[in-house]
Every structure is written in structure tokens, then in C-alpha cells.
Structure 1
């Protein structure tokens, strides 16, 4: 399964962009782009907005990838993870 970091790197390299170019456009350090691509860190929502513009993809595509990874990493060792996610989904539906 594709992760945020590999997706980001693929998008960047397909467009022939260097990390420093993406970093400058996203207003972050080159080391931060490296951390995103290596899976050491996930970007903020604002950073995702900028990255989507730079990489010519929808913000939604990057948000879904990043947030799903955050949720999964937070719950990966939790035996009740599936039940927690199911209840969270129900609560989200109620708020709509």
C-alpha cells in the first residue's frame, strides 16, 4: 500500500522537481520535505494545501493519505483499533 511519503516523492520526481524547489514553494526546509518523504513526519494541513498546489494534485488526495496514516499510526498497537474507528465513524455521521 502506498504511503504519504512515497506518494509525495513519486509526485515530485515525476514533475522533475528537486526537494529544495518543493521546500521553497511550500515554505519549509529541505530537511522537512526529506522527513515527509521518509515517513518520519507528516505535514500540517496548511503544508498539505501548499504541496497539493505545487504538485498539481487535489488537496483531498494528500489529506486522505496523510490523515489515514496518522490515525493508523496512533492506533496500530491498540487491540480495539477497529472498534474505535467504527465508533468514530458513527460519531462523524451524527455530526453531519
Structure 2
């Protein structure tokens, strides 16, 4: 699941309106709507606020956010799977 979809799902589970969550993030509702639709990216500094307001684990939320960042970086590459495989091998060797 992509980050924006996950945020929307958590927001709805917590019975929050977009304007309520947007206010907590100090952004307008239109920006939050774009984040939920995947048209814009949330900033890293939003993660702790989102985790607190949406009552979810910050580490898990950060993992989904970071995975989305990686996906957006390499999604157009023909060898995206190979790139991820090499990156994973680098992590294992370090």
C-alpha cells in the first residue's frame, strides 16, 4: 500500500476529517488531499505528527513513507527490481 492510501485509511479509521488532519499538519486541506491521492509527497517531519494524531507506530509509518520515496525514485527504471536487489545486498554486506 502506498503512503497516501495508508494515511487516508488511518484517517478514516480514526473518524477524522481531512481538514482536522490538515490542521494538525499545518497545511491546507487541498494539500492533504493531494498527499492521500499520491499526487504530492508528505515531508519527513510530518511523520511524527501523523503517527501521533493517527495513533499508529511512527517506525512503521516511516517505513511506508520511505518505501514510497524509493519507489518514486526508481519506478521509471527498466531494471528497478535489480536496483532493489543490489541495494539489499549492499545492506547485507554492511
Unaligned 5+ runs, structure 2: none
How far residue 87 of structure 1 moved from its aligned partner, in angstroms, is 2.1
After TM superposition, the structure 1 = structure 2 runs for residues 73-84 of structure 1, keeping only pairs within 5 Å, are 73-84=72-83
Aligned structure 1 segments of 4 or more residues deviating by more than 4 angstroms: none
After TM superposition, the structure 1 = structure 2 runs for residues 7-86 of structure 1, keeping only pairs within 5 Å, are 7-86=6-85
How many residue pairs are counted as aligned between the two chains?
A: 94
How big is the alpha-carbon RMSD for the aligned residues of Structure 1 and Structure 2?
Answer: 1.6
Compute the TM-score of the two structures, normalised by the length of structure 1: 0.83
How far residue 76 of structure 1 moved from its aligned partner, in angstroms, is 1.7
For residue 3 of structure 1, what is the aligned residue in structure 2? 2
How far residue 28 of structure 1 moved from its aligned partner, in angstroms, is 1.8
